[in-house]
Structure 1
Amino acid sequence: MKEENVHDPKYREAKEAQSSPSVPTSQLFRLDNRTIIVTGAGGFLGTTVAKTIIESGGDVVCLDLVENPQSVYWKQVLEAADHHGRNVHYYPCNVQDADAMADIFARFLPLLQSPIRGLVSCAGVSDNGPATDFPVRSFQRLLDINVTGTFTAAQLVVKEVIKAGLSASMVFVASMSGYVSNKGVDTAGYNASKAAVHQLARSLAAEWGSRVNVPLIRVNTLSPGYIRTEATAEALRKPGMESQWVGDSMLYRLSNVDEYRAPILFLLGDGSSYMTGADLRVDGGHCAW
């Protein structure tokens, strides 16, 4: 690809022409006429994200490992789609399998009523254990799912965005653990993978935001703090763990998944049109002590 001259006035004019037009305040969090891809959509955060996108006017393609999500949370996604007249598609997939992911994209693309304009990468795992005994294969699996899986989804999405010639926004769910280590739990592999997600987003934002012949594609990360879910219940049963996690927060409590709806909508929508290569840390002040 030919390198553009960033000092050329024509380059600046071309990039400014790609900027989002001024939109009414009421539309800054809206996702009308957009399809958003959500990986890890069967999980606690993923289902919340899917439902939030639907309630904000967008269509959703949900991807996750399970063949047929049956949780009460998934039922709420379907009910929201019916109530708001939006389209939701679900496909079982493994983000570790790039060829299978490409095949799934080929299957759902003809069914979309709105162009793909975004990605929320929620797919991830958090295995823990002492580094002295942690299996190398498990470490590799963490990186493969959390980092390579995120890249695979982003690559497939960006190809469709470029074909459509429309702007798009990607949100990679990272973690405050990409900045700090977690007291009381041994998660070296997880922490390393989330730091890699931060850097991946910055690198893709630089590449996809600086090309004149590529639509305006923004890439940011969201770094949650501790979330109270069924998935964290086991860790919280460890004596002293809940008091420690709560005490590590400036707000002296854990978060819940609903508290990430507005941050994700902000990053996906036009309200964050001048934000790319950045991380939005929503951690209750954990990293700010």
Structure 2
Amino acid sequence: MANRETKPRVGGPEVSTRDLFRLDGRTVLITGGTGALGLEVAGSVLESGGDVICIDLPELPPEAGWTKVQAIAETHGTRATYYSCDVTDADRLRFLFEETMPKTRYPLRGVVTCAGVSGRVPAVDYPVDDFRRIVDINLVGTFIVAQAAAREMRNQNVSGSIVLVASMSGWGSNKGLDTSAYNSSKSAVLQLGRSLAAEWGSRQGHPSIRVNTISPGYIKTRLTAESLAKPTQEQVWSAENMLNRISTTDEYRAPIIFLLADGSSFMTGADLRIDGGHRSCESMNELHSESYGLVKNVPISKHWKWKRSTIARSDMPRSAEYLDL
């Protein structure tokens, strides 16, 4: 295509494996910076050598969480700053960039969009304004931040990596949860990531910006606290994945650092689904159900015969291979 060009790569064979996962000499912006995941990611970036700018709605970050972040920064010689900002307010975000970016030690080269909200309402009763608010924060707010960051990287002529936090809920509906707005918004975030990656990876006159997404499974945070307070809910959710438990925020540190750092230099437009095998488990169940449905009226003896002779008998349903009787 005429508007594309090959950009210099980051990393390289001369860089040690350890250094491929370092973030020295760069600033990383984290939205949802007062949340459990945002604070966890902030600490990981600081440990990896990068400076951090956290933004979120509250005027001040939570004392306990921010004290821990500052302690990590002091230990590693890095810096963490916090600003109050609504990610859906494009004018406020633009002003924030104009005020803060000249004060940073290092260029902005990374973004992690942790800001997001959910809501459980039956679709037939969902107030349109509430639906629109969730989409506005989860999708439009994510775009506003990514756009502002890309403009800053273009102004500084530096390559970068943007990590959009989607959800396994963007890949399918969750059984028993009336979360149509949340699911729709996260599915859109997945497509947004692919679209931005296609535009910003090799555009002429624009630094190379890689854009990837992560799709977490159920996490123990304040967003899931209400649901998990119900008797047996944690047991039910745990049983739906392959590890038989629910994740915690620290389990997303390494995947996000990988995507931010040069170790993922040839990765863009991709999604890391970190759900304990939840969606894969669903796929296996569907496959088994479909397979069984094709042969459920056939005697068990026939099942076993088909399973043994699938290669020799091409006329039999291939799905019989997958029966486990």
Shift of 1:20: 4.0
- Alignment partner of 2:12 out of 21, 45, 50: 21
- 1:210-249 alignment to 2 at 5 Å? 210-249=202-241
> 1:258 Cα shift?
0.5
Match of residue 128 from structure 2: 136
Task: Decide whether the 8 Å contact of 1:131 with 1:188 is kept in 2.
Answer: yes
Rg: which structure is higher? 2
Following the alignment from structure 2 to structure 1, what is the Cα–Cα distance between the partners of residues 232 and 219?
A: 17
How far off its partner does 1:84 sit? 1.3
TM-score (norm 2): 0.83
Cα distance in 2 for partners of 1:139, 1:5 equals 37
Kindly indicate whether the alpha-carbon contact (under 8 Å) linking 2:219 and 2:248 is maintained by their aligned counterparts in 1: yes
Read off the aligned partner of 1:58 and give its amino acid letter: G
Matches within 5 A, 1:1-289: 4=2, 11=5, 15=6, 17-22=8-13, 23-289=15-281
Return the letter of the residue paired with 1:246.
S
CA offsets, 1:132-172, max 9 Å, x none? 11110011001100001011101111111111111100000
1:248–1:286 CA contact under 8 A, matched in 2: yes
2: CA distance between counterparts of 1:92 and 1:5? 37
For residues 26-60 of structure 1, give each alpha carbon's deviation from its aligned partner in whole angstroms, at most 9, with x where no partner exists.
11110000000000011000000011000000001
Q: Percent identity?
A: 53
Say if 1:67 and 1:5 are closer, same or farther in 2 by CA, change over 3 A.
closer
Structure 1 range deviating more: 116-125 or 222-231: 222-231
Letter in 1 for 2:196: L
Structure possessing the higher relative contact order (Cα contacts under 8 Å, 6 or more residues apart): 1
Q: Quick one: which amino acid aligns to residue 40 of structure 2?
A: T
**Structure-1-length-normalised TM-score:** 0.94
Gaps of 5+ in 1: none
Give the unaligned 5+ runs of structure 2: 282-325
Range that drifts further, 159-168 or 20-29: 20-29
RMSD: 1.3
Instruction: Give, as a single letter, the amino acid of the residue that structure 2 aligns with 1:45.
Output: L
SS at match of 1:280: strand
The amino acid of 2:12's aligned partner reads P
Query: How many pairs were matched up?
Result: 280
Taking the aligned partners of 2:3 and 2:91, their CA distance within structure 1 comes to 36
Q: Give the deviation of 1:127 after TM superposition.
A: 1.2
Query: Aligned letter for 1:4?
Result: A
In 1, the alpha carbon distance for the partners of 2:55 and 2:217 equals: 24
Counterpart residue number, 2:301: none
